[in-house]
Amino acid sequence: MDAVILAAGAGTRMSKRAAAKQHKSLTQLMGMAIIERGILAMRDSGIKRVIVVTGHGADRIQARLGDGQGQGIQIEYVHSTDWERGNGASLYAARQRVRGERFVLAMSDHWYEPEFIKRLMSAAKSVPGNLLCVDREPEELYDPDDATRVRLSHSGEVIGIGKTLEHFDSVDCGVFVLTPDIFPALERAFTDGDYSVTGGTRHMTKASGLGTVDVTGLLWEDVDTEDARDAAERKVRRSLISDDDGLVSHHLNRRISIQLSRLAVRLRMTPNAVSLISFSLAIAAGFSFGFGALIPGALMAQLSSIIDGSDGEVARTRFMSSNWGGFLDSMLDRLADAIIYIGIGIYLVNDSGSAMTLGIVFVALAGAPFSMMLKDRYRIATGKTWRSTEADGLSRYMLATRDGRLFLVMIGGLTGQLLITTTYTAVTTVALLGWRMVLVWRDLSNTQRIEPTDRRSGSVPTLVGSEEAAAD
């Protein structure tokens, strides 16, 4: 399918300062314009060609987006001379440019999770005709009363739509799959003096029907005002945070990494570059510990842990997630742990000269890769992802996952008690690994045997990526 994005409005409800500075659709959320986010979400859902309908501030939009070559998608432009009448007039301007039996329609000032478009495209494969994304629980919207209301039939068809609808059970999210039937429907709406997309869909609903795709639970926001922009920014941050973070990542690291990720996005940094910065800090921390500079080593180890969460955030923000990136991040994490604990080991052995100290450091170091290995092997054996927040139970509070271990490294370095914190890490890492082994044994004992993969088939197991490393 092609996609049409309506970006013609003047955005008069935004502040005059913001409107004078840039087009509303170029408002940034986490360092990236709203319209860019929508286009990249479409690209990742298989859409190859986007038609942007412009009006007010057309030159600014075209200068920012270009032809889409850099984003890996074809972008074309249609200028609406009647954009001031309403967004229906803007859509009508694209009637001769869309190809195929159906196309996706979206609003340039709506932010939505990438899953929105994926769910819509998935539904379109099995459901013919026109479709509208609807939200049955719009309470999380900044201004739910401003949303276009929708009344549905028992089968999920739209039977009423409009801003002033009294009885409704969902709201319009501003994302559609439409047939060319929308254009004669718009013409009928124009004769009534209604130049809105809603007016066209109202006529189309009567003529050819309008089905729905339920996106309740997914995050989205209509960014019409500065306050709505702030609400959308908060939702973007929420969408970047893994639901399987360790305790330290959830309560401390993410608060800082989100800010660093915004800066990285504005600087156009890649996720792999962020991973390498985190790894470089770990190397510096290891050398600092080895030479007895405990406080610099402690701070750099913790900063490395914080930035380690940024690479996944940057990947999702810039739509640059990849299997290679997840693999690289996972391997660098393991090497980073080794370098940091080798440095700690050198310091502690030189300080105490005890063989037992060397053994403690070895156990603390050895436990980290085994924890991640268990998660990888579990996924291969069962096809399921290990969710630490669900499976580990009270053991999550031992700070035995990577974010917790590096936090304890920082505490030990700042207080000069590295031996105590390293001993604690060694004990809890082994305890967590043993507990997970018991849980896996219970699970696999109740699972049918899986035949080994034929190596000749070329099948490659999915590797744990950067977002699961925080709670390894």
For the chain, domain boundaries? 2-236, 241-469
Q: What angle do CA 195, 201, 207 make, to 5 degrees?
A: 120
Q: What is the pLDDT along the chain (472 residues), one digit of tens a residue?
A: 899 999 998 877 775 555 555 788 998 898 889 999 999 999 999 999 999 999 988 999 999 999 998 889 999 999 999 999 999 999 999 999 999 899 999 999 999 988 989 999 999 999 999 999 999 998 889 999 889 999 999 989 999 999 888 899 999 999 999 999 999 999 999 999 999 999 999 999 888 889 999 999 999 999 988 899 999 999 988 888 777 778 898 889 998 999 999 999 989 899 999 999 999 999 999 999 999 999 999 999 999 999 999 998 999 888 888 888 888 998 999 999 999 999 999 999 988 777 788 889 888 888 878 777 888 888 888 888 887 777 777 777 888 888 999 999 999 999 999 999 999 999 998 888 888 888 888 888 876 554 544 444 444 444 434 444 445 6
Buried b (16+ CB within 10 A) or exposed e, 367-376: bbbebbebbb
What tokens does 434 get? 């043993």
Q: Which long-range contacts (CB under 8 A, 24 or more apart) does 286-290 make?
A: 286/339, 286/340, 286/341, 286/342, 286/343, 286/344, 287/343, 288/343, 289/340, 289/343, 289/344, 289/346, 289/347, 289/413, 289/418, 290/342, 290/343, 290/346, 290/347
Indicate the Cα dihedral angle 436, 437, 438, 443, nearest 10°.
Answer: 90
Using CA atoms, how far residue 112 sits from 103, 118, 189, 216, in Å, is 18, 11, 28, 12
User: How far is it, in rounded angstroms, from Cα 173 to Cα 50?
Assistant: 19
Please, what sign has the CA dihedral across residues 57, 63, 65, 69? positive
What tokens does 198 get? 């809603």
User: How far is it, in rounded angstroms, from Cα 315 to Cα 329?
Assistant: 12
Evaluate whether 2-236 and 241-469 have a shared fold: no
What tokens does 454 get? 């034929």
Which CATH code fits 2-236? Answer: 3.90.550.10
CATH number 1.20.120.1760 given to 241-469: yes
User: How far is it, in rounded angstroms, from Cα 320 to Cα 329?
Assistant: 14
Q: What angle do CA 106, 110, 115 make, to 5 degrees?
A: 75
| DSSP letters for 87-141 | HHHHHHTTTTT--SS-EEEEETTEEE-THHHHHHHHHHHHS-S-EEEEES-GGGS
pLDDT tens digits for 184-235?
999 999 999 999 999 999 999 888 889 999 999 999 999 988 899 999 999 9
What tokens does 371 get? 């924890």
| DSSP letters for 160-228 | EEETT-SS-SEEEEEEEEE-TTHHHHHHHHHHTT--SHHHHHHHHHHHT--EEEE-TTS-EEE--SHHH
Contact 305, 402 (CB under 8 A): yes
Whole-angstrom Cα Rg for the chain: 26
Type of residue found at 350: N
At a CB cut-off of 8 Å and minimum separation 6, what does 444 contact?
A: 381, 382
